Amino acid sequence: MSSEKVTIFDTTLRDGEQSPGASLSIEEKIEVAHQLAKLGVDVIEAGFPVSSPAQFEATRLCAENVDGPTICGLARANSKDLQAAGDALKAAKTSRIHTFIATSPVHMEYKLRKKPDEVLKMAVKAVEEAKGLADEVEFSPEDACRSDMAFLVEILNAVVEAGATTLNIPDTVGYILPYEYGKIIAELNEKVVGDKDVVLSTHCHNDLGLAAANSLAGVSNGARQIECTINGIGERAGNCALEEVVMAIRTRSDAFEDIDTSINTKEIYRTSQLVSHLTGFSIQPNKAIVGKNAFAHESGIHVDGILKKRETYEIMTPESIGLGESRMVLGRHSGRAGFVDRCKTLGYDLSPEESKAAYEKFLEIADKKKEIFDEDLVAIIGDEVRGGEQIYKLEYLHVACGTGTLPTASVRMIVNGESKQAAACGDGPVDAAYEAVRLACEQSPKLEGYNIQAVTGGKEAMGEATVRVSDGKRTFMGRGVSTDIVEASAKAYVSAINRMVGWKNREQETRVEL
């Protein structure tokens, strides 16, 4: 018997990018989109085209260059937004406009300042207009879960009559509980969908930690599309995590009988790592499915059980998400061919220039530590080869510190091709390095957060630093790796400044939330 398909609608590039600090360049968005296609997602929400030239261009390039998934653009219920989305999606093999308007009493009264009948007319008009601009039309009643059910049924029936084929039911503020969300989907399935060729979709936020549970409750009650993001990134506490709902449906086939997705689960780990490195967002160790502790066992009872029969404490295998058990260990005597082959095995299709840069950095690290593991390679590629915009580049760093000594640092930076040097003192070696970088770059972002951790174990482990800075309006993430934790910290700080300045060089984007 063939399984009934649940469409996976990935909004990492739109809703996910609205995470504070998760700004991606156009090139990074295209790279993620290609990986999402390899993962097997059905729909990619590439952006909000009207909000800025960068968003429009990213959506347009996804439509032109990414094969497989339907490419979607977000638009508010007005002609300007809809036309921009339609223009950006022209080259897509299959295009979708996702239009929305708020329907909850609090949103209509205080945000839109409109009556329900006005909102209904705007929704119908938007869907009718979108029909002429894209192959498919999806409609979302923003803040649906706090909307009056009678009005929700009325407006959804009206937009279906106007031509919408997907109805998305967003839990915009992450407020609903699974049994409540399931009841909403079941009622809409009965009163709106019926025997119509219309798909109900879930879009759940994680403010109460229930995004995945709510999405699955929706599927159990008739929803056949899940809107989600890689690693669950998104506004506030984030969105429903793609890897969680996909593996829940796959693992609990008894609960989701004859239901499946088209996701190639062996690409999950690779996609998770790519998004983590490009956004600068580290994955918490105990994150479900993709956290580094997800398949780790320390308790003697657990280890004994695993050795006797894996299923005693593992409900899925590492291999099922693309995380192989065997790790290749490379060293300074490993040739370029072996290095490139291992990078391909890890999912990196590097250009000749990228391979050269990565291999040179590999040899540099190999001179400092005897063994280089897969995690080290991922860090090297993410930091050295695909580190984002390089307006500023750290060329040299020297730090002097010790007991009874004032910590000082000197740096040489390449700033738009020009060499600049600076020296400074600080409360510690990292603070001194940051002050010297600020002077050389002539930038003064506020440091909002700092974290350092080992990439792998052992005394020769590479350190991975993550920093969060702000310009007073928006936050930006940066990441750096090195066998020297002060150097890693400085590189992370420079990475964050590059993101901040790169963002300022592009037009500011209008943020929207469903």
Annotated binding site for Mn(2+): 15, 203, 205, 239
Number of H helices, E strands in the chain: 16, 16
Q: In 3-state terms, what secondary structure has residue 24?
A: coil
> Angle CA(482)–CA(483)–CA(484) in degrees, nearest 5?
85
Taking the CA atoms of the chain, what radius of gyration do you get in angstroms?
Answer: 24
Helix axes 178-188, 149-162, angle to 10 degrees: 50
SS3 per residue for 56-74: HHHHHHHHHHCCCCEEEEE
> Angle CA(385)–CA(388)–CA(392) in degrees, nearest 5?
100
The rounded distance, in Å, linking the Cα atoms of 264 and 343 is 20
Q: Which phi and psi angles does 157 have, rounded to 5°?
A: -60, -35
The closest alpha carbon to 321, from 269, 245, 251, belongs to 269
Helix axes 268-279, 26-39, angle to 10 degrees: 170
The rounded distance, in Å, linking the Cα atoms of 30 and 45 is 12
Tokens of 58: 């990213």
| Residues of each annotated binding site | 15, 203, 205, 239
The rounded distance, in Å, linking the Cα atoms of 326 and 324 is 6
The rounded distance, in Å, linking the Cα atoms of 47 and 39 is 19
